Amino acid sequence: MKTEDNIQQEIDELVEILNRHCHRYYVLDAPEISDEDYDMLYNRLKDLELQSGYIRADSPTQRIGHKPLEKFQSLRHREPMYSLDNVFSVEELREFDKRICRLIDCRGDMQYAVEPKYDGLAVELTYVKGVLQRASTRGDGYVGEDITSNIKTLKTVPLSIKHLKIVPEEIDIRGEVYMDIADFNALNQERLSRGEAVFANPRNAAAGSVRQLDPSITALRRLQIACYGVGFFSTIELKTQQDLMQWLEEARLPTPLEFSVVSGIESVIDRVNYIQSKREGFPFQTDGVVIKVNDMSTQRRLGVKTREPRWAVAYKFPSHKAVTRIMNIQPSVGRTGKVTPIALLEPVRIGGVTVSRASLHNWDEVKRKDIRIGDLVVIERAGDVIPHLVEVLVHRRTGSEQVVEPPLRCPVCNSVTLRNPDEVALRCINMNCPAQAIERIRHFASKAAMDIEGLGIKTVELFYQNNLIRHFSDLFSLKKEDLEKLPGFGERSASRLIEAIESSKETTLARFLVSLGLPHLGEFASRLIAGHFQNIEDLYGIKAESFVELRQVGNKTARSLEEFFGSPENIEAIEKLKEIGLRLTNPDFQGLAEENAQTFVITGTHPVPRSEIKDMLQRAGFRVSESVSPKTDYLLAGEKAGSKLKRAKELGVKIIGYEDLKDIIEGMQKQLTGAKIAVKDNRLFD
């Protein structure tokens, strides 16, 4: 009879064998054994696990085995997952190359990594000591949803990478979950046969499948993944994108088809043309090509803009186009009073999506292109996403088309519309315009802002029409009995919404800044501001010049902030919200980091997780790097410190322990307190 140790040893061997065969079957498409033999080994493993109770986290039997979730939990990315800037022509690609060379004064041709852009859902996979620990969606780039149970159902995702010669202590892998076109078509056919709604395109199908609360449903969808990037990592060395691709393949993680590294932007353009020529033959949907600087140290030197890295760009293929008719042109009033012309179209399918509306941008554009009601027009989805009017088919006119003039009065409140001399935008000048008020309130409650669940545009309109709210601050004064009188609301639904409003009172400074709906101030810029100003009061009376040091904040954003926080009425409104219960925290605050901030590198094991140490250092105003160099000021070395410790000794870098770090942080915090007072006196306020 087998002992417990013998059973565990056999389980270990079976897990390793099955995971290797799974990789060969699903990723390499080169199986070494028959399906029957695989099933026999799999069933043997299940029996042994049931007999012994010993189940490894990376066992293939654990790909499906979790109960349905009630909701997704949030996971914060240790390194932000930035989106990419888009270009649409080879001229823009050349400008991208020139910009990089200007920024780093490069000599000779830059090396670039080139790969197809997969049209799916961006995710992050975290492996800790070689085992898949968690997986999350991109979310807002900083915080995503925990989809670990669902990702484990993907046969192409290894549950363990312990077979590597050097297993990283921790590593965050970025990739794209997608669905092959053939599998997408088969899924839609199945849904049609059951009388269910079909998915519009493979991307929607993939995203919807990954975000199922029941992992068993995800498992039924034939999802794929292509891994192409890395966030936080430790105890391994990766110098280039090419190194990363090689490491991913050794780790048995799927990588993009047609990946290559070339020198010079003209070679990049050749490669882009080659991928575009093969596009229709790919089994998956792709809308472009991703180009990245190959060298990772150069990537770090180039850094990021407000929301995109400077070292990468997505070249978008020529978009899908269709011909349709403009049925009407209507003015739409936004939260800032901007009156935008909207084309109402005869519905048309473009790239798997039904398009019935398109923004015409501004009234000058309508006049310049001579766009009329009744015109046949060419519509495209720029970058395969945004509906955009390309061309008016003037030669197809019948004479019945109608010219549209900019409205002299707001279509909602009938106030006069005006245009500033330095703007193309036509605006309603009535700050109490219902359309503006409703849009501002809707924006205030949106997911990226205060995230008040259940408060959509229809509900906001209902409250406004019944004189319950006139300003977003009125939301915090709503009572359950007020809502119960309204159509569609009962005791339960009213209670849920009041609870959601109450819950939203505790939020972050960045989210609150987003909720204000200031012109030119989006999510990323709000986080940037929150990273440099700890409290909302630090912004009261601020001047635009105060943002000069923040290179990612433009003049328009700075002026917008100055105008808002220079208004006594606005400050009074914020103070009123605080009295009602608004509580702002600021996890994004990083201290007053200067250009000459000292640089730390962390290695080894410490009393607290490395991510907490990194967060602590950044909040105190220090930089944190992944590699030791002559520019490193301190190496924080814990137990089992490896090659970084040796390198630091060679370079004469100061080596400290965790207790030393606490003393340094405490001293820096005292300095920051004094510096903050000085900054308030000398820089932020007149």
Catalytic sites, residue numbers: 117
Count of CB atoms situated within 10 Å of the CB of 225: 27
CA 373/CA 330 separation, integer angstroms: 10
CA 579/CA 419 separation, integer angstroms: 38
Q: Which residues contact 349 (CB under 8 A, 6 or more apart)?
A: 322, 355
- Residue 218's SS3 state is helix
- Residue 521's SS3 state is coil
Closest by Cα among 283, 160, 297 to 222: 283
- Distance of CA 466 to CAs 455, 462, 482, 489, 500, Å? 15, 6, 10, 13, 20
CA 213/CA 148 separation, integer angstroms: 11
Supply the DSSP string of 16-74, one letter for each residue: HHHHHHHHHHHTSS--SS-HHHHHHHHHHHHHHHHHH----TT-GGGSS-PPPPSSPPE
Closest by Cα among 561, 555, 505, 504 to 529: 561
Q: Is the Cα dihedral 293, 297, 301, 304 positive or negative?
A: positive
Question: What's the order of all strands across the beta sheet hosting 286-293?
Answer: 85-87, 312-316, 286-293, 111-118, 260-263
**CB of 645 closer than 8 Å to CB of 637:** yes
Six-digit token pair at 315? 């070249």
Alpha-helix residue ranges (DSSP H) falling in 168-264: 181-193, 202-210, 215-220, 241-250
CA 222/CA 218 separation, integer angstroms: 8
Strands (E), 338-483: 339-350, 353-359, 372-373, 376-382, 386-392, 402-403, 417-418, 427-428
**CB of 149 closer than 8 Å to CB of 211:** no
Counted residue by residue, the chain has a size of 686
Count Cβ atoms within 10 A of the Cβ of residue 188 and give its class: 0-12 exposed, 13-18 middle, 19 or more buried: middle
**CB of 664 closer than 8 Å to CB of 656:** yes
Q: CB under 8 Å, gap of 24 or more: what pairs does 255-259 form?
A: 255/226, 255/227, 255/228, 256/115, 256/116, 256/118, 256/226, 256/228, 257/115, 257/116, 257/226, 257/282, 258/115, 258/116, 259/113, 259/114, 259/115
CA 657-659-663 angle, 5° bins: 115
CA 584/CA 508 separation, integer angstroms: 5
- Residue 207's SS3 state is helix
Which pairing describes strands 402-403 and 634-637: parallel, antiparallel, or unpaired?
Answer: unpaired
Closest by Cα among 99, 162, 570 to 291: 99
Residue 165 per-residue DSSP state = S
**CB of 650 closer than 8 Å to CB of 635:** no
Count of CB atoms situated within 10 Å of the CB of 491: 11
- Residue 392's SS3 state is strand
